[in-house]
Amino acid sequence: MDSELYDFGMIGLGTMGCNLLLNMADNHFAVVGFDINRAKAEEFEASANPHTIVKGVFELSSMIQQLKKPRKIMMLVPAGKPVDDVINNLLPLVEKEDIIIDGGNSHFTDTLNRIHFLLEKGIHFMGIGISGGEMGARTGPSIMPGGDKVAWQQVKPILEAVSAKVNGEPCVAYMGKGAAGHYVKMVHNGIEYAIMQLISEVYDMLRRGAALNVDDLHEVFKSWNKGEMQSFLLEITADILAHKDVDTGRPMVDVILDKAGSKGTGKWTSQNAMDLALPIPTIDAAVSARDISVYKDQRNAAAELYGTANEKFIKDKQKFIEQVHDALYFATIICYAQGFALLHKASFELDMEVPLPDVIKIWRGGCIIRSALLDDFYSVYKKNPDLPNMLLNKKIARLLKGKEKKLRTVIRQVTPLKIPVAGFASALAYFDAYCSSQLPTNLIQAQRDFFGAHMYQRVDREGTFHNEWQPLPEHKKEEVEHRP
């Protein structure tokens, strides 16, 4: 068997793995893919373009023997135990200086543990976030590598070649130390959850609230996607609404059950944000909204018990569509602002040194949350990479101020119709709290001190204080007086 023929090896020839390897092959790299399923390996090899160097194998050792050294091996397998299984299978076959990459959506703490485990054995391990779905992998994803800088230099030319390009620049950059690649991808997905939630609420408001039909909705999203909010998620929403079910002829959205799935990255974003005490309530609301959707039977029972809204519709449809457009614009900016604020804090707290401008730059193309808005965000962070929250920037303030009123009007109109808008409402509440120099948390501090002597700070003096909120009962007073 010829040895050291291939530049890159892939473990797991699912659609993502196949597509990314074929993309590498199209970019003149010699690639080999392994799958335990022989048919998949053969199918993969057969699907390669002519004149590309592509090999499918079903024995792991065969792949390892044929890779150029240091070997560059990526796995695209489900997060969790499958990743550890692959590592354990690789360990007897690889050598010092070889590079193992996890390109899936692993939890960043797992990635950190794996980095340390493999470092002791002289193996470079990288956690890399890859966004763009199956099509993105084939035609150019956004790629978020982090951790080992030696390994990054080795894989950089390959990843730059296969990534999406914006203005000729690759949508891949070093995302920071340790598990930064997977952390950044996790936050990307948190923002993805929140924007998807907002779009679903728009669909609901326009359909249930203003009686638009699915064809009208398709037109609305299509036209919005030509404007200032142009984005991948708006584009696919318009496409989805044009699809009919082949069996029934009904719109596809009407035959899909309203129970949302999730693989965990949105929840992880919320969990970690809570750990860091950095509020991202619109992402939290999106995670909860998916969870509520799962309780279909209970929702049915509750709908019967409490009743649905009267069949009242918003009369001026055109005006309402324009208001909802601006509300979505406003709330979408809030979603990104929350995600960026989390990255800013996590970068420091988790010692990752995440280059926020680079993150935004590589999210402009290839990934699920790509949007025309990111150009504005990039210019803001390029000038001020240390901005703790994008809302503090004057340019962003101008964008938001132009739409703020519309968001308030939209929420006011849909609540009597019992249309749940947790995403929009949380975006507005976050904005209002963040922009309040006086919050009612002074009362919370008083309550905490009242029942638990938890102390408070004063507005007029330095230090921490406790107040005697209630007179002690007589017997307690005596106890205190007779204390030694």
Active site residues: 185, 192
**Could you say whether residue 263 binds ligand 6PG (CB under 6 A)?**
yes
Nearer to ligand 6PG, 263 or 382 (CB): 263
Tokens 């519709």 label which residue?
Answer: 313
Map residue 182 onto helix, strand or coil.
helix
Cis before 355? omega within 30: no
Count of residues that interact with ligand 6PG, criterion CB under 6 A: 13
Nearer to ligand 6PG, 134 or 404 (CB): 134
Q: What residues numbered 189-228 form the site for ligand 6PG, per CB under 6 A?
A: 189, 192
CA 111 to chain CA centroid, nearest Å = 17
Q: Which amino acid is at 395?
A: K
Q: Which amino acid is at 146?
A: G
Nearer to ligand 6PG, 148 or 192 (CB): 192
CB of residue 128 vs ligand 6PG: minimum separation in angstroms?
12
CB of residue 263 vs ligand 6PG: minimum separation in angstroms?
4
Q: Which residue, among 201, 184, 111, has the nearest Cα to 339 in the 3D structure? A: 184
Pattern 445-484, ligand 6PG, x by CB under 6 A: ----------------------------------------
Asked if 459 and 470 touch (Cβ cutoff 8 Å), the reply is: no
Question: How many angstroms separate the CA atoms of 198 and 447, rounded?
Answer: 35
Asked if 106 and 76 touch (Cβ cutoff 8 Å), the reply is: no
Q: Residue with the closest Cβ to ligand 6PG?
A: 131
CB of residue 131 vs ligand 6PG: minimum separation in angstroms?
3
Of 285, 367, 410, 427, the one binding ligand 6PG (CB under 6 A) is 367
Of 19, 65, 66, 105, the one binding ligand 6PG (CB under 6 A) is 105
Nearer to ligand 6PG, 105 or 231 (CB): 105
Nearer to ligand 6PG, 141 or 281 (CB): 141
Q: What residues numbered 150-179 form the site for ligand 6PG, per CB under 6 A?
A: none
Asked if 302 and 282 touch (Cβ cutoff 8 Å), the reply is: no
Question: How many angstroms separate the CA atoms of 310 and 288, rounded?
Answer: 26
- Residue 101 sits at φ, ψ, to 5 deg, of -120, 130
**Could you say whether residue 132 binds ligand 6PG (CB under 6 A)?**
yes
Q: Which residue, among 139, 170, 152, 106, has the nearest Cα to 16 in the 3D structure? A: 139
Of 154, 262, 293, 389, the one binding ligand 6PG (CB under 6 A) is 262
Map residue 249 onto helix, strand or coil.
coil
Binding site for ligand 6PG (CB under 6 A): 105, 131-133, 189, 192, 261-263, 265-266, 367-368
